[in-house]
Amino acid sequence: MKVYKDISEFKKDKITAITVGSFDGLHIGHQKILKKLLEITNQINGTSVLLTFDPHPRMVISKNFDFKILTTLEEKISLLEKYGIENLIIQNFTKEFSNISSDDFIKKILVDKIGISHIIIGHDHKFGKDRLGDEKKLKELGDIYNFNVTSVEAEIIDGQIVSSTKIRKALMEGDIEKVNLFLGRNYSIIGKVVEGAKRGKMLGFPTANIQLNDSNKAIPAGGVYAVNVKLRDQNYSGIMNIGKRPTFESNNHTVLEVNLFDFNDNIYNEIIQVDFIKRIRDEKKFESKDELINQIKYDIQKAKEILTN
């Protein structure tokens, strides 16, 4: 997959089928759009192009400063390559860029700079300033500039339309099984192992504290999770605690710490990927160290049962 850090880098010399959007999460609804993109690319004997934005538009134009993303740019690139996209254009999303009208976006960017033959959009696709562009507008402009438009129906599970917003909400509620179902894969975080308070080691359960590669990455609700871990190209099982460690501390700093089963190496400063499988329980405050140790033993046993089934 060729990656372009700006639209101007892309050479307008091929028949192109394109899809445009944030694609945060690259969930099964997005995957349906990508499948249609590749299908049409093959039909027109062209090349596939995905135009996305970084940072996420909502981080630029929204007043919601707590907005978190489901996929970092690094993760998005890796997934799109796996799905078979040939060309990825990453447009820096700025306030200035957000003011481009829907007509100008189509004419000056998609037609003049990329040279589209076919555009594939999701069922609720909106574009341009104030999101005034839609499927109707695209088809009108397609007639003028000679490109075709295909809209892909929503992906529905249990009567719900799959969307990044619903996944983000489920993640905040700790419903990791719904998150994974809507994503079509396990939700994961990637980060560096950093030094912590070493209380896990003192309790007999050494943990790796994780500092996220991207602080804008959404993390699941606080609690204990059964997880799979990738480290040094090896796979491990473990439990992860997300929370404030109320038994020991009283602050607002959220800690991400994972205990790997049957593992006791020094892995400080190494990169680790944690895949969330199932939530075991809420975080809680224990009255004694022994009570906490007994709970951790139970959590580990529960996680092992989950991860081997």
Summarised one tens digit per residue, pLDDT across range 125-139 is: 877 776 667 888 899
* 301 has a pLDDT exceeding 60: yes
Report the alpha-carbon distance of residue 41 to residue 282 in Å, rounded: 47
User: What is the share, in percent, of the chain residues with pLDDT greater than 90?
Assistant: 74
Please report the domains of the chain, with CATH numbers, ordered by start residue: 2-159 (3.40.50.620), 186-308 (2.40.30.30)
What pLDDT score was predicted for residue 16?
96
Task: Please give the structure tokens belonging to residue 230.
Answer: 């990738």
The whole-chain average pLDDT of the chain stands at: 91
Summarised one tens digit per residue, pLDDT across range 12-23 is: 888 999 999 999
What pLDDT score was predicted for residue 65?
67
Would you say 21 and 27 are in contact if contact means Cβ atoms under 8 Å apart?
A: no
* 199 has a pLDDT exceeding 80: no
To the nearest 10°, report the CA torsion of 56, 61, 66, 71: -10
Task: Please give the structure tokens belonging to residue 214.
Answer: 């991207």
Report the alpha-carbon distance of residue 33 to residue 36 in Å, rounded: 5
Burial code of 124-144, b = ≥16 C-beta within 10 A, e = fewer?
ebebbbeeebbbebbeebbee
Would you say 128 and 105 are in contact if contact means Cβ atoms under 8 Å apart?
A: yes
Summarised one tens digit per residue, pLDDT across range 148-185 is: 999 999 999 999 999 999 999 999 999 999 999 999 99
SS (H, E, C) 16-68: EEEEECCCCCCCHHHHHHHHHHHHHHHHCCCEEEEEEEECCHHHHHCCCCCCC
Residue 225 forms beta bridges with which residues? Answer: 240, 279
| Confidence band of 283 (pLDDT split at 50, 70, 90) | confident
Burial code of 246-260, b = ≥16 C-beta within 10 A, e = fewer?
ebeeeeeeebbbbbb
* Mean pLDDT computed over 37-43: 98
The CA R_g of the chain, rounded to the nearest whole Å, is 22
Q: Which of 61-70, 122-131, 250-259, 288-297 has the highest mean pLDDT?
A: 288-297
Summarised one tens digit per residue, pLDDT across range 218-269 is: 999 999 999 999 999 999 999 999 987 655 565 678 899 999 998 988 899 9
